[in-house]
Structure 1
Amino acid sequence: MSLTAAPLIWVAAAGCAAAPPTDGPPPTETSRAPDAPADEEPSQPQALPEEPADGDPAQVRVPGIDVSSELLHLGVEEDGSAVVPEDHDLASWYDRSGRPGQTRPTVVLGHVDSADGPAVFHRLQELEEGDTVEIDDAAGDTASYSVTGVHTFPKDAFPTFEVFGATGEDVLRLVTCTGDFDPDERSYTDNLVVFAERSTGG
C-alpha cells in the first residue's frame, strides 16, 4: 500500500479510534473515507460476519491487559463515510488493512470508553515493549505478535503511513483514543497506537 493509497478511517465517538487522510486539511468529525470502487460493494461492518473468509481476523487477545474480543469488521458506508462501531465492548478489524501473514499492517481499532464506562481498549496504554498480542483468524489459526512500541499522536498529526502503509513485514497496529476529552466535540484530542511485529514462530 503506498502513501497515497493509505486509507482514511475517522470514528466520531467518545471512545474513538481514528486516522486522518494522507493529504489535505486535518480531518473533522465529518471527514469521509475514500469512496469504494464502483465494482466493489461497501463493507457492512456493524456485525460479526456470518461467513468470514478463512484468513480474516476473527478475534484479538491481549493477555497482559485482559482483552479477549471477537472482531467486528469495520468498513465504509455507502456514502463514503467511515463507520462508527456501535459496540464499545468489541474491537474492530479495519477490513481494508492487512491480514496476518501479509506484508502490510493488520489494523485493529477499539473504543477507549463510553458513557457507560471503560471500553475494550481502555487499558491499551498499559502495554509495554515485549507484550504479546494474538490474532485468531476465521480458520482457527493464531498469529502471535510482540509489542515494539506504544506511542501517542495528536489527531491532526496521525502517522497514517506508519500505521497503514506497507512494511514488507507481518505487523500489527492497535489504535484507540487518548488525551483530553472535549465534551463539545465529543472526541479525544489524541490517538494511542500500539506497534507490534510477528513473533518468531508465531
Structure 2
Amino acid sequence: MTAQQPSEPDSASPAPGRSLLWPAAAVGLGFLLVYNSFDASAGVQPPTTVSSAPATTAPGATTPAAPTPSASASTAGPGLPRSEPERISIRDIAVDAPFTPLSIGSSGRLDAPPADDKNLVGWFKDGATPGERGTSVVAGHVDTKTGPAVFLYLRTLKKGSAVDITREDGVVATFKVDTVETFSKADFPSDRVYDDNGTAQLRLITCGGEYDKRAKDYKDNVVVFAHLASAKKS
C-alpha cells in the first residue's frame, strides 16, 4: 500500500504537532503504547509522552498487541551480535541523523524522541538492535512545531532503497526496503509489523495520511519494512 500524502494544516490553524502510533514493550509485560502529537501553540499537553508530561491515550486510538523485542536472538537466520545504533543514513531521502534510545516511561508508554530536535531518530532500546536477529523498531517525527523533521519523506522510499545504520561496534548494517505501507492508527496491524521470522528485520515508523485538525493528529502511520542485506566495518 502506498503511503498517503500528509495534508498540511492551513495558515489559520495552530502550529502543528504530530503523532505516531506504535507499541513496544519488554517481553511479558504487555505495555500498550501510543505515541501521539500535541499542539504546542495551543498550550495543550501531549496525549502521550513527547516530553516529561503525563500521557493519556489519544481519542479513537486502539492499543494493539506489543511485540516481543529480542526474544529471537537465538533463532536461526542471518544476524549480527547486539550493538547499539549510532547513526542512520538513507541517501534516497537525504536522511543523516543520530540515534537516541527510547524506553518505557513512568506513564507506561514509550518515551518519544525529543520534539525540539528535528534531526533525531529513536530506537526501542529493550528490543533488537539494528542488525540483530529480531525486529528492530526505529521511530522519527515527520515534523514538529518548528517545521519538517527527519522522516518527512519516509513514505517516498521504494522497494530496494538502502538504509545504512552505523553501530557502536563499528559495523555498518545495510538494510533493503521490502515495502512501504500506511496503516490506520485505529487498526494498526501489530502482529504483522512486529513479526519475528528469525532474521534481522527493521521497521521505520512515522506518522502519515490525512491530518485531523480537530484531533491535531495524523490519522495513519507510515511503516517501512526492511531486512538486513549486508554488513561491513566502517
TM range (shorter): 0.7 to 0.9
Q: 1:10 to 1:125 in 2, by over 3 A?
A: same
Name 1:13's counterpart in structure 2: 37
2: distance between equivalents of 1:74 and 1:198? 22
Name 1:64's counterpart in structure 2: 92
Name 1:118's counterpart in structure 2: 148
* SS of structure 2 residue aligned to 1:82: coil
The alpha carbon displacement at 1:158 in A equals 1.2
* Alignment counterpart, residue 192 of structure 1, candidates 222, 225, 229: 222
Name 2:12's counterpart in structure 1: none
Name 1:42's counterpart in structure 2: none
Contact 2:143 2:150 in 1 (8 A): yes
Name whichever of 156-165 and 184-193 sits farther off: 156-165
TM-score where L is the length of structure 2: 0.65
5+ residue gaps, structure 1: 19-26, 35-53
Query: 1:166-192 CA distances to partner (integer Å, 9 max, x unpaired)?
Result: 221111110000011122322110000
Root-mean-square deviation over aligned CA pairs: 3.2
Bigger radius of gyration: 2
TM-score where L is the length of structure 1: 0.74
Q: How does 1:156-171 map to 2 (within 5 A)?
A: 156-171=186-201
Contact 1:11 1:84 in 2 (8 A): yes
Contact 2:64 2:190 in 1 (8 A): no
The alpha carbon displacement at 1:88 in A equals 2.8
* Alignment counterpart, residue 203 of structure 2, candidates 153, 164, 173: 173
* Alignment counterpart, residue 177 of structure 2, candidates 124, 147, 165: 147
The alpha carbon displacement at 1:13 in A equals 1.6
2: distance between equivalents of 1:128 and 1:9? 28
Contact 1:6 1:161 in 2 (8 A): no
Q: 1:179 to 1:105 in 2, by over 3 A?
A: same
* SS of structure 1 residue aligned to 2:134: coil
* SS of structure 1 residue aligned to 2:127: coil
Q: 1:153 to 1:32 in 2, by over 3 A?
A: closer
Aligned residues: 174
1: distance between equivalents of 2:105 and 2:215? 22
2: distance between equivalents of 1:161 and 1:197? 17
Q: How does 1:75-90 map to 2 (within 5 A)?
A: 75-86=103-114, 87-90=117-120
* SS of structure 2 residue aligned to 1:199: strand
Name 2:212's counterpart in structure 1: 182
2: distance between equivalents of 1:168 and 1:175? 21
5+ residue gaps, structure 2: 1-24, 40-45, 49-56, 66-81
Name whichever of 156-165 and 176-185 sits farther off: 156-165
